[in-house]
Amino acid sequence: MTSDITTPFYQYILDGGNGLTPKEDVLYGVRQDALARFRTLGLPDLKTEAWRYTNIQRVLKEQPFVLQQQALPVTAAQLAPAFIPELSCYRAVLVNGHLQPELSELPAAKDITITKLSEATQQKGFKTFFDKHPHLADQPFAALNTALFADGLFIELKANAVLDKPLHIIHVYTLTQHAFLQPRHLWIAHPHASATVIESTLGLHNDAVAFVNSVNEVVLEENAELWHYNIQNAVQNSRHINQTAARQETYSRYHHYNFALPQATMIRNNTSVALTGSYTETDLHGLYLANGNQHVDNHTFVDHLVPHCNSNELYKGVLLDTANSVFTGRIHVHQDAQKTNAFQQNNNLLLSEKATINSQPQLEIYADDVKCSHGFTVGQFSDESLFYLRTRGIGAEAAKHLLVNAFAFDITDQVHIPALQHYLTEEIRTVISN
């Protein structure tokens, strides 16, 4: 904590954080504890194992910044580019982390509760699950978020509820000055409930820098099923630390898809799942497509605590220009977690000699009757394939696009909503042809 950049940042946060929450706030104690935790954990630097390849200090340099930013007005026309064409869906729009009901189209309340998190603090679900995910405890940025968050989404799917259309959450950022934002979400799917939730982002500011440190706790109770698509796109001048911490009870099924696309400067995802009930299914799938000077870091953690769980992880990366990527895949199979199936694969396609990739599996296996595997590849376009396509009249650009789509196919093919699949394919096309 001696660097020129972080010392004032750190101090600023501690000072600012201290003053943000009034004593009479119901969360005052929780926030003070979190701030103390942050103080103990400290701000990571390159010597911190989990941050070795992501220089977080370098991206904290814009100062001064504000620690809270209310929503600024957003018009329907400004919002429209974030819509997914042909997708029939519900919509929840957040501006700088604050839910905007007048821009949203929320489902009827009989199956599902969607409110501001700040209004949910008296709910049973909030009291049971808020800030309880075991993987958040040692994360400095999660502690910071708990201490400082202004608002976010509270979603509660009632038992047996089946959401008839996907819910599209649009995170809009619009700033007039540099801001360090802390959106905080809690989603709970009660027993036998199921839903599809799509998150995407939209930036409306130009010069101001958005540093978004978001935390999302996701709870799947018995036999619940959730398809969770997280599309990180279209916010220039932004840096994101995004922690999605899920927990799964018996027979639940969690399908997580992450698409990290341009234009954020930096994306760090901590995606983790604690398997606390048996016979669960977990898919962690990611596609990162990075260009320019982008830095994309995916840290995943699948924690097999109990027997008979299946986890399947596939991350694929396409790197252009001078983009950087990091993949760390941690799988922990506890001694009791017999009959675990845990698979992990990370494949990369480097489209530029100046792009780099760091990939490391971290397998910690303490049970003996398990099936686990992991693999890692880096490839380039085969010149031979490119030539073959070109001799058929397919231009170099279109040929590259075909080959990138072919590479990404394992991921995009699993997107179970055709309109979303089409949207993502088009997003990929746009990136490749620029």
Partner 1 sequence: MLTIKNLHAEVDGKEILKGIDLEIRKGEVHAIMGPNGSGKSSLASVLAGRENYTVTQGEVNFDGKDLLELSPEDRAREGMFLAFQYPVEIPGVSNINFLKTALNEIRAYKGLPAMEAKEFLKLTKEKQQLVEFNANLMNRSLNEGFSGGEKKRNEILQLAMLDPKLGILDETDSGLDIDALRIVAGGVNKLRGPEKSFLVITHYQRLLDYIVPDFVHVLYNGRIVKTGTKELALELEEKGYDWLKEAEVHV
Say if residues 324 and 295 touch (Cβ distance below 8 Å): yes
Q: Summarize the chain as % helix, strand, coil (round to 5).
A: 25, 40, 40
Is residue 393 close enough to count as binding partner 1 by CB under 8 A? yes
Which ranges of 80-234 does DSSP label H, i.e. alpha helix? 124-129, 140-148
Handedness of CA 101, 200, 225, 154 (dihedral sign): negative
Task: Give the interface segment with partner 1, choosing from 115-123, 196-204, 296-304, 381-389 (CB under 8 A).
Answer: 381-389
Phi, psi torsion values for 369, nearest 5 degrees: -105, 70
Q: Is the dihedral of CA 115, 121, 126, 131 positive or negative?
A: positive
CA-nearest of 292, 288, 294, 349 to 321 is: 292
Q: Which stretch binds partner 1 (CB under 8 A): 23-31, 172-180, 268-276, 389-397?
A: 389-397
Contact flag: residue 370 with partner 1 (CB under 8 A): no
Task: Determine the Cα–Cα distance for residues 59 and 82; give it in Å rounded to an integer.
Answer: 26
Contact letters for partner 1, residues 325-364 (x by CB under 8 A): ----------------------------------------
Q: What is the DSSP string of 11-49?
A: HHHHHHHHHHS-TTSTTHHHHHHHHHHHHHH----TTSG
81 residue type, one letter: P
Give the nearest distance from C-beta 319 to partner 1 in angstroms.
Answer: 18
What kind and span of H or E run contains 405?
A: helix 396-412
Q: How far is the CB of 393 from partner 1 (least distance, A)?
A: 4
Nearer to partner 1, 335 or 377 (CB): 377
The residue within the footprint of partner 1, chosen from 394, 421, 422, 425 (CB under 8 A), is 394
The reply on whether position 405 binds partner 1 by CB under 8 A is: yes
Binding part of the chain for partner 1, among 149-157, 174-182, 236-244, 405-413 by CB under 8 A, reads: 405-413
Pairing of strands 210-220, 184-189: parallel
The rounded distance, in Å, linking the Cα atoms of 226 and 362 is 26
Beta bridge partners of 216: 185, 244
Among 71, 389, 422, 429, binds partner 1 (CB under 8 A): 389
- The smaller minimum CB distance to partner 1, of residues 95 and 319, is found at 319
Select the residue interacting with partner 1 from 385, 414, 430, 433 (CB under 8 A): 385
**Whether the Cβ atoms of residue 370 and residue 284 lie closer than 8 Å to each other:** no
Task: Based on the shown chain and the rule CB under 8 A, indicate whether residue 369 belongs to the binding site for partner 1.
Answer: no
Task: Provide, rounded to whole angstroms, the least separation between the CB of residue 376 and partner 1.
Answer: 18
Minimum Å gap between C-beta 409 and partner 1 is 4
Which range touches partner 1 (CB under 8 A), out of 74-82, 104-112, 292-300, 401-409? Answer: 401-409
Kindly tell me which of 41 and 389 has the beta carbon lying closer to partner 1: 389
378 binds partner 1 (CB under 8 A): no
Q: Which stretch binds partner 1 (CB under 8 A): 55-63, 248-256, 325-333, 398-406?
A: 398-406
Total residues in contact with partner 1, by rule CB under 8 A: 23
391 is a contact residue toward partner 1 (CB under 8 A) = yes
With beta carbons less than 8 A apart as the criterion, state whether 342 and 400 touch: no
- Under the phi-then-psi rule, with left for phi > 0, alpha for psi from -120 to 50, and beta for the rest, what region is 222? beta
| Residues 6+ positions from 297 with CB-CB distance below 8 Å | 53, 54, 266, 267, 268, 269, 325, 326, 327, 328
Q: Which stretch binds partner 1 (CB under 8 A): 38-46, 47-55, 224-232, 403-411?
A: 403-411
Cα–Cα distance measured from residue 97 to residue 74, given in angstroms and rounded to the nearest whole number: 13
Nearer to partner 1, 128 or 385 (CB): 385
- Binding of partner 1 by 418 (CB under 8 A): no
CB of 399 to partner 1, least distance (A): 8
**Strand partners of residue 333:** 304, 365
Give the C-alpha separation, 27 to 148, whole Å.
Answer: 11
State yes or no: residue 47 binds partner 1 (CB under 8 A): no
Segment contacting partner 1 by CB under 8 A, of 47-55, 115-123, 201-209, 378-386? 378-386
CB 347 within 8 A of CB 317: yes
Q: Which is nearer to partner 1, 242 or 348 (CB)?
A: 348
Q: How far is the CB of 387 from partner 1 (least distance, A)?
A: 6
Tell me the window of 86-94, 282-290, 301-309, 385-393 that interacts with partner 1 (CB under 8 A). Answer: 385-393
* Interaction between residue 406 and partner 1 (CB under 8 A): yes
| Binding-site ranges for partner 1 (CB under 8 A) | 382-385, 387-396, 398-399, 402-403, 405-407, 409-410
